[in-house]
Amino acid sequence: MMVRSFLAIVLVGLASMANINADEQSSVIRVGFIGLDSSHCTAFTELLHREGNTGDLAGVKIVAAFPGGNPEFPLSRDRVQGYTEKMRTMDVEIVDSIAALLPMVDAVIVGSVDGSQHLAQIEPVLKAGKPVFIDKPLAHNLADALQIQKLAQQYKTPWFSASALRYQKELQDLMSSDVLGDVVGCDSFGQSRAGIGHSDLAWYGVHGVETLYTVMGPGCLSVTRLQTDKSEQVTGLWKNGRIGTYRGIREQTHKTGFGASIFGTKTQQQISLPADYLGLVIEIAKFFKTRQPPISEDETIEIFAFIEAADESKRQGGVPVTLASVMEAAGSVRGR
C-alpha cells in the first residue's frame, strides 16, 4: 500500500514537472530570422540566447531561420553560407523557404542585407499576421517602403524598422532629459556607403539620417544635398523653421564612426554613438511581446522620403526638393 502511494506521488510530481516545462515552452516567443547574410543574425541571436536573460529579453528565442541571400549582391553572396553555419551552432533550425518557416514561429525578423528583397520576403509574413521587425534598410527605395506600409495596413499586422543608433543608451538618456531644453537643430554624421540598387542613403546613410530624426522628430519639409568624392551634406528644413543636417563620410577609415552635435535652447551637446545592438534588440523583444511598435510607421516612411528627396536633390544639382513631391512620385510609381 505504501509502495503504491509512493508511486502515485512520484507520478503526480513528474506530471507536474512536465506541465511546468510545457508552460515554460509555450510562454517562449519563437522568432524566425529571414536572411542570414549579415552579422546582425548572429549578434541578435547571441543577445536573445544569453543565459539568465531577464526583463524584456527573457522568453524570446530565435528558433528557425531561412538563409535567403542574393547571388547578384556580393556582400550577400559571399557571407550567407558562413552565417548559416554559425546559426546552426546556435541551435537555430535552418529551413529552405519562408513558407516552411512561418508555421514554426510567432514573430519574424527580416535581416536580409539586400533591401530590394524585403518587400517580397515581408509580404507572406504580414499575410500570416506575424509581427515583424525589418532590419535596415526597410527597403531599397521609397516606393517599396510605401508598399510595405500598405500591405501591413491591409493585413492588420504590426511592424517596425529602425537603426540600432536610435536606441543607443547615451542618445536615449540625453533626449529623455531636460539638459538641452527644446531642440533647435542637429548635425549628425556617419559612414555613407551606398548599396547596389539602393537609394544612396538607404543602405548605410540611413543610420545617420535616423540619428537626425531621433533628435529632431518628424516634420521635415524639404531637403538639399551636396556631394563630392569624399563627403556629402544633406540639409533638411523642418516645418517650424529648424534646420537639421546629415554629413555622410564617403572616404572610409578605421576611425569613421557615428555621432551628432545637438543644439538646444539651454545648451549644446556632442555625442558619439557606438555600434551596439543591445538597445535595439530590447525594443524588438518588447515589440514581439506587446505587438506595439516603438516608433510610428509614419516617421519611418518620412525617413525614407527624406532619403529619396536627397537623391532627387543630387540629381538636380543640389536644389531643394520637398518630401511631399517624392511621396507623390513614389505613390504614382507603385500605383501603376
Using one digit for the tens of pLDDT, what is the confidence trace for 297-329? 999 999 999 999 999 999 999 999 999 999 999
225 is in which domain, residue-wise?
A: 165-275+295-335
* Mean of pLDDT values over 96-119: 96
Q: Into how many domains does the chain fold?
A: 2
Are residues 176 and 316 both part of a single domain? yes
Determine the pLDDT at residue 21. 44
Are residues 324 and 193 both part of a single domain? yes
Q: How far apart are CA 269 and CA 121, in angstroms?
A: 40
Closest CA to 76 of 132, 133, 45, 117: 117
Determine the pLDDT at residue 18. 42
Residue 9 located in a structural domain: no
Residues 86/42, Cβ–Cβ less than 8 Å: yes
Are residues 79 and 152 both part of a single domain? yes
pLDDT by residue (tens digit) across 148-190?
999 999 999 999 999 999 999 999 999 999 999 999 999 999 9
137, 162, 187 — which closes off a domain?
162
Residues 245/234, Cβ–Cβ less than 8 Å: yes
Are residues 300 and 199 both part of a single domain? yes
Q: How far apart are CA 251 and CA 244, in angstroms?
A: 22
* Mean of pLDDT values over 192-202: 70
Closest CA to 133 of 62, 70, 197: 62
Residue 288 located in a structural domain: no
- Residue 336: is its pLDDT beyond 50? no
Residue 284 located in a structural domain: no
pLDDT by residue (tens digit) across 17-59?
444 344 444 589 999 999 999 889 999 999 999 999 999 999 9
What are the helix (H) ranges across 94-250? Answer: 98-101, 118-127, 142-155, 169-176, 206-216
Are residues 61 and 118 both part of a single domain? yes
pLDDT by residue (tens digit) across 79-95?
889 999 999 999 999 99
Q: How far apart are CA 196 and CA 72, in angstroms?
A: 9
Are residues 152 and 263 both part of a single domain? no
Q: How far apart are CA 298 and CA 280, in angstroms?
A: 19
* Mean of pLDDT values over 282-293: 98
Determine the pLDDT at residue 5. 54
Residues 163/256, Cβ–Cβ less than 8 Å: no
Residues 277/167, Cβ–Cβ less than 8 Å: no
Q: Side chain identity at 142, as an amino acid letter? A: L
More confident residue, 75 or 200: 200
- Residue 16: is its pLDDT beyond 80? no
CA distance to 61, 76, 182, per residue, from 81 (Å): 22, 9, 48
Are residues 188 and 329 both part of a single domain? yes
The three-point CA angle 328-232-246 to 5° equals 65
162, 182, 205 — which closes off a domain?
162
Are residues 156 and 187 both part of a single domain? no
Per residue in 44-81, is it b (16+ CB within 10 Å) or e — as a string?
bbebbeeeeeeebbebbebbbbbbbbbeebebbeebbe
Residue 1 located in a structural domain: no
